[in-house]
Structure 1
């Protein structure tokens, strides 16, 4: 899946912190697997984008392959500093270039909602070996801010931001990507599976990076294409309201950004 990054190195780095699983989620995936298998030969990260999540799997598997339908994203992944056991392949999520029963872990980090979901689940089942695991994760768009004693005020302003973008969400995603993942879990035929909701991850970032993160949402991109001036006005208005509430003058003032992940894990019988 192609993802437009921020303009500017700092914003890109901030965005990539949330585009992928944090280390804590990778640890949870591995703990789930370790109680069910001793096979850690091959992990496949589907919809890998620029590979930021793919490389987090490298210490745990003999070989890790990131796949994506976007050649541009894979070019970005390949110019990064990758561990020697990490490689990338260009393919759709629904047509993985692996033999049946070859893969120990199939994961998709904040990407599965864009797939043909039923075809992807069938393809993941095909390539997974018995005892292999499927791990899908994402996060809700309603990120929260913490700053002194004005956190509630800031989050009321953030809700204005999200509400303004809601009409521009892609119909394929609908109003809640969380429901998409719940539906995919229900569609998964494996008996050994678990749902985990609202795993909160906090990071301290400049306020400008939070604004830049929201600007990467597909809904903001759709607004920007339809009405660039309105998109800029909305961003500026939200930024100024947040700064006013914080009694700060610089958008580089740091705030705590809270991202709420959800994920599910399943083991093939």
Structure 2
């Protein structure tokens, strides 16, 4: 393994070789799907550590909506989780509705967002929204969990003619310094693949296999999310992943993140520090992808 050369002798094989052996000897129940996000601890980490989309992302959304309509009455954010992608819409729409299948996620959403309501609801059954009333329907980092055909049918039903359907998210992050990224990418690619119950490939491929069912739809792959995080914060983010939760449930050797944190600490201690840099500074970058379409008038 490439990263082994950069670590101390202590625990060189701890994360990749041992954990990879364990991962290859387990199977995952694909039918569990969205229920992974009903875990209380994971929900807490999701609300605390999932990255927030930038102002540029929401400006892009609003500008696209404005191409066909100036009537910003209702936005519906489907698969909203704990509201990271919902709250910024309240600045632009008279009413915002955040919907998620997980009651625990909805309970973590802020309760003081102006003109915003959160409700528990499946993406494939949006019957709580009247037909032809939504100016915007969004899905952020959740489309790959859904029955896409049924969701599209419901989104089309609730959208006004000329309304916008925007599906977006962020792909796997990269780290700086490069030594930390080498370790993280090997861990991600060699240990976790069998534990992404809903399938991780669409996210890694930036939803390249998906399309919006409206003529003239377009993509935008020009944006990123960037954060300067401590190792504790980055490990907290990893704890919000369904694959980490699945791995820990299937192995009795303790929380895998303790081992990841140990290795990252070892790596960062071995790197000469720039002036003003803390011991554990990581620069984390996520590429953002966006699919956008207008319902015909």
Scaled by the length of structure 2, the TM-score of the pair is: 0.77
Q: Judging changes above 3 Å, is the alpha-carbon distance between structure 1 residues 26 and 255 closer, same or farther for their aligned structure 2 residues?
A: same
From 247, 264, 277, the counterpart of 1:223:
247
Per-residue CA shift, 1:121-153, capped at 9, x if unaligned? 111111111110011111112x1222xxxx222
Corresponding residue for residue 120 of structure 2? 90
Matched, 1:27 2:52: no
Structure 2: distance between partners of 1:4 and 1:261: 26
| Distance in 2 of aligned mates of 1:245 and 1:237 | 13
CA-based RMSD of the aligned residues comes to 2.7
Query: Number of residues paired by the alignment?
Result: 255
SS class of match (2:131)? coil
Match of 1:58 among 86, 90, 104: 90
Query: In 1, distance between residues paired with 2:266 and 2:190?
Result: 15
**Is the contact between residue 169 and residue 175 of structure 1 (CA under 8 Å) also seen in structure 2?**
no
Report how far residue 175 of structure 1 moved: 3.0
Alignment of 1:152-191 (within 5 A): 152-179=178-205, 181-185=207-211, 188-191=212-215
Please name the residue that 1:246 is paired with.
Answer: 271
Structure 2 CA distance, aligned partners of 1:4 and 1:209? 20
Q: Distance in 1 between matches of 2:154 and 2:162?
A: 16
Indicate yes or no: 2:297 matched with 1:267.
no
- The answer to whether the Cα contact below 8 Å between 2:144 and 2:202 also exists between their aligned partners in 1 is no
Question: 1:83/1:129 Cα in 2 relative to 1: closer, same or farther (>3 Å)?
Answer: same
Kindly report which structure 2 residues correspond to 1:66-77, keeping only aligned pairs within 5 A, or say none. 66-77=98-109
**Deviation string for 1:74-125 (max 9, x for gaps)?**
1222xx2423300112210111111221100000111111111111111111
Q: What whole-Å deviation, never above 9, does each CA across 1:31-50 have from its counterpart, x for those lacking one?
A: 11112211200000111111
Q: State which of 132, 141, 154 in structure 2 corresponds to 1:110.
A: 141
CA distance in structure 1 between the aligned counterparts of 2:38 and 2:280, rounded to whole angstroms? 26
**Structure 2 CA distance, aligned partners of 1:159 and 1:233?**
17
Shift of 1:237: 4.3
- List alignment gaps of at least 5 residues for structure 2: 1-33
* 1:180/1:119 CA distance change after superposition, 3 Å: farther
Q: Which residue of 1 aligns with 2:10?
A: none
In 2, the alpha carbon distance for the partners of 1:25 and 1:100 equals 27
Q: Deviations over 1:138-180 (max 9, x none)?
A: 1112x1222xxxx222211111221233333335314342447
